[in-house]
Chain A
Amino acid sequence: MTLSHSLTRLLALGALCLGLTAAPIAAQTEPHITFSDPVIEPMPYAVPDFVAENAEAAQAAHDLARVVADDLTGTGLFREIPSAAYISGIASFDAPIAYADWQAINAQVLITGAVQASGGALSVKFRLFDVASGQPLGEGLQFNGSASSWRRMAHKVADAAYSRITGEGPYFDSRVVFVSESGPKDARQKRLAVMDYDGANVQYLTDSASIVLAPRFSPNGDRILFTSYATGFPRIYVMNTADLSTRVLDEQPGSMTFAPRFAPDGRTVVFSLERDGNSDIYTLDIDSGALNQLTNAPSIETAPSFSPDGSQIVFESDRSGAQQIYVMPATGGEPTRISSGKGKYGTPVWSPRGDLIAFTKIADGRFYIGVIRSDSTEERLLTASFMDEGPTWAPNGRVIMFTRESEGATGSATLYSVDVSGRNLHQVTTPGPASDPAWSPLLP
């Protein structure tokens, strides 16, 4: 035993004592509190009239703010605080924000803007503010355009605010092509029309000389596919949206073609072709005219829709005896059934996000709009009525529009939209009865 060894042991003992003493202190950390019961309700926001930077812009400044508010409130995710509750206003675009005044009326987000008009041109700029923290939400943005396109500029502002707050992709600046209906129910006249997503700016694309069905936008919105009975039999046509020129997509003597839809590349069309009483799914290369049969079954295969990546096709088939939804490779092959609930399933449409497939379901005498994952899990029904059918997805994959037909001899078709969560079901106002909506991609 040496002195050094004794010292070593003494030091070790001291260290042990120190460690025991310090351990309780080191174990204490900051208080850690978990919140696990969030509220789910629309976010209150304020959007005062935009500031008119010259007299010519006065009306536009008011109208722009109203369209922005309509867009945001229409999502069901936001609740506008009426201007009557405002304590202070926005005197100028660059004026400081009196956050306390907006906090006092419970606004969580404030949108301010300014408009300048000169001749036929319009300039709109806006900012978002997080009222609670008293800070701007991201950068302000400015849009320049023609005065006649002020609604699109308002949609752009609303899209930017919506995406900044929610994290979802934009969809307000988009259009919907649909079938405008008129006349009695047993002699209904149908023609194609296009409108803003909210029902504004309706413009007719065809006359009512022949029945038209199932319009579908191309991936970049430059063309519209639709089915027309102009020859007495269903046939697919393609329309150029720039000049409204129309041509038959493909002539297959002795057959009928219907239910067309573009592939994501915009060069291929998938559709149903009926020949000798049997319907199968085909693809057509628009440039080369090459036809490719994807299914070959004695049952009815129809309503095909590509997945966003173009690798798969979802369609409906009654090969099992009732209409059900199947998924197959885009090149054809053995399909996999994904619908398994009670009833019949049809008109499947793949979400732009790729995560869900919307469908029409009929069970127990009622129609439903629902969604399901492509692996056949998580089926959810979003709506139910006498007759809901034909869903179409908004460009951001968050909202679904569809046709709702009312009951009885005087019943008519109307367009509705619903959030993918199943909330915020509301009617989209159109000039008259309308059906078969198809959402465009986001406008440039």
Chain B
Amino acid sequence: MNKGLLISGLGHLGLVLWALLGGWFTWTTETPAVQVAQVSLITTSEFDAMTSAAPKVDDTAPAPQLQPPATKTPKPKPRPAPTTPKPAEPKPAEPAPTPDPTPTPDAAAPDAPEVPPPVAPPSDTPQPIPVQPSEKAPAPGAAERIASTPVDSTDQPKTADTATPAQTDTPSPDSQPVPEDPAAAPEKTVTAVVPDAKPTEDNAPQLAPTSSPPPPARPKPVDTPPEPTKTADTEATPDPAPADTSAADQAAIDAALADATAPDTAAATPEPSQTGSGGTGDQPIGAALNSGEVDNLRHVIGPFWNIGSLSTEATRVTVTMRVQVSQDQKILSVEMVDFTGGTAEAAKQAFEAAKRAVYRGASKGLGLPPDKYDTWKSMLFTFDTSQGRLR
């Protein structure tokens, strides 16, 4: 201990002395004088005379060729050519699809009473429905317009004593009600999942969409599928460049230094922000969370992160949020600091799903070490949906 202290003291003393006195021996204030060379001028004729005495260059010698670089350059793979459909094959003259011109009346469904009523006949009573100003097209069945109006302030109190009354719209006289036929309107909608019917080889019907008459039989020329679609693995991928040994060495040195200076395991070191938008380097941070504590936090919050009710676009969004936590491990605030992979609207939905997970997970305690409050009082959470994407 004393020996080390002595060495350190001597070293520092040496540094200080060098800083103070080193200049007496090495420091120079005079800028080096500009070296001047005497150059004699010659005329063009003298120059020609000099060059004519020099040996001539052999013009017949091959000019040096530009050599390709030694490293392998990936050949760009040709992209699949766009498919051009072949001209249509000659179609044999066949009779046109013949529909059944005389459908048999259905005794069970008498036609006369089935003369359809108007889908939604306009009502003669004024309808107090707010009308959206820009709408002009009637709905199918002359459906009435039902416009929405805000009920009241969005600041629904969290506490029990500040409820706000709802607003009531004034009736709109220009919208007509559409009476619905209760007899023809079964109110109960029954849905049931029905398993697929088992296919059989012998009774499988041919593709005959009801939207069009069945196509006549015709010769079957060779099917020409389109060129394979460009996929990620067909892209020309350049060979990885040879590793820069100096950079690799430097990285190894940096890693070794980081390991040596870290107070705990590598996982305990606070991770730098991946997005660049997070992180508060100016905040004092206490002891870092170790890997066990981080995994525990994942297990506390992760099971509550449900993206099953998100839009297809929102399921592609990765959001990063800053979570402020109180000393008793309650969530103080959650704010989105970054997102990638979608629109702001989709990110908002994804953020809310992630926020619900944080609150629900924290409702039973986050399980964070109390002695490291300075570390976890503010954290960055990134919710990456790439491994749970809806398809």
Selected contact of B109 from candidates A149, A208, A321, CB within 8 Å: A208
Evaluate contact between B140 and A144: CB separation under 8 angstroms. Answer: no
B187-228: contact bitstring with A at CB < 8 Å (1 yes, 0 no)?
111111110111111011111011111011011111111101
Chain A residues, CB < 8 A from B213: 234, 256, 258, 274
Further contacts, 9 of them, CB under 8 A, given A78-B309, A444-B138:
A35-B384, A38-B385, A125-B151, A199-B190, A232-B102, A242-B118, A346-B209, A387-B205, A416-B194
Evaluate contact between A201 and B294: CB separation under 8 angstroms. Answer: no
Evaluate contact between A337 and B83: CB separation under 8 angstroms. Answer: yes
Q: Does B166 contact A (CB under 8 A)?
A: yes
Q: Which of A24-32, A286-294, A306-314 contacts B (4 or more CB under 8 A)?
A: A24-32
Q: Are A200 and B189 CB-contacts (below 8 A) given A10-B19, A299-B89?
A: yes
B12 to chain A, nearest CB (A): 9
Residues of chain A from 185 to 226 with CB closer than 8 A to chain B in the complex: 187, 189-191, 194, 198-211, 213-214, 217, 220-222, 224
Q: Does A386 contact B (CB under 8 A)?
A: yes
Chain B residues, CB < 8 A from A405: 205
A381-405: contact bitstring with B at CB < 8 Å (1 yes, 0 no)?
0011111011000000010000111
CB-CB nearest in chain B for A341: B225
B1-44: contact bitstring with A at CB < 8 Å (1 yes, 0 no)?
00000000000000110011011100101000000000000000
B243 to chain A, nearest CB (A): 25
Q: Does B156 contact A (CB under 8 A)?
A: yes
CB-CB nearest in chain A for B166: A125
CA A93 to CA B207, docked complex, whole Å = 54
Chain A residues, CB < 8 A from B388: 36-40
Which of B104, B186, B224 has the most C-beta atoms of chain A within 10 angstroms of its own C-beta?
B186
Q: Does B48 contact A (CB under 8 A)?
A: no
Chain B residues, CB < 8 A from A136: 154-156
Q: Does B273 contact A (CB under 8 A)?
A: yes
Selected contact of B103 from candidates A5, A35, A211, A366, CB within 8 Å: A211
Evaluate contact between B88 and A229: CB separation under 8 angstroms. Answer: no
Q: Are A33 and B158 CB-contacts (below 8 A) given A144-B169, A320-B85, A346-B209?
A: no
Interface residues contributed by chain B, number (CB under 8 Å): 191
Chain A residues, CB < 8 A from B288: 28, 31
Evaluate contact between A320 and B379: CB separation under 8 angstroms. Answer: no
Evaluate contact between A203 and B117: CB separation under 8 angstroms. Answer: yes
Which of A108, A145, A173 has the most C-beta atoms of chain B within 10 angstroms of its own C-beta?
A145
A122-143: contact bitstring with B at CB < 8 Å (1 yes, 0 no)?
0101110110111111111111
Evaluate contact between A133 and B129: CB separation under 8 angstroms. Answer: no
Q: Does A268 contact B (CB under 8 A)?
A: no
Q: Does A303 contact B (CB under 8 A)?
A: yes
Q: Which of B59-67, B71-79, B356-364 contacts A (4 or more CB under 8 A)?
A: B356-364
Q: Does B264 contact A (CB under 8 A)?
A: no
B159 to chain A, nearest CB (A): 6
Evaluate contact between A241 and B119: CB separation under 8 angstroms. Answer: yes
CA A366 to CA B203, docked complex, whole Å = 10
CA A127 to CA B16, docked complex, whole Å = 72
CB-CB nearest in chain A for B149: A142
A372-383: contact bitstring with B at CB < 8 Å (1 yes, 0 no)?
000111001001
CA A234 to CA B152, docked complex, whole Å = 55
CB-CB nearest in chain A for B293: A31
Residues of chain A from 126 to 183 with CB closer than 8 A to chain B in the complex: 126-127, 129-130, 132-146, 148-149, 151-153, 156, 160, 165-168, 173, 175, 177, 179, 182-183
Q: Are A36 and B222 CB-contacts (below 8 A) given A211-B103, A241-B141?
A: no
Q: Are A38 and B306 CB-contacts (below 8 A) given A213-B211, A340-B226?
A: yes
Evaluate contact between B19 and A9: CB separation under 8 angstroms. Answer: yes
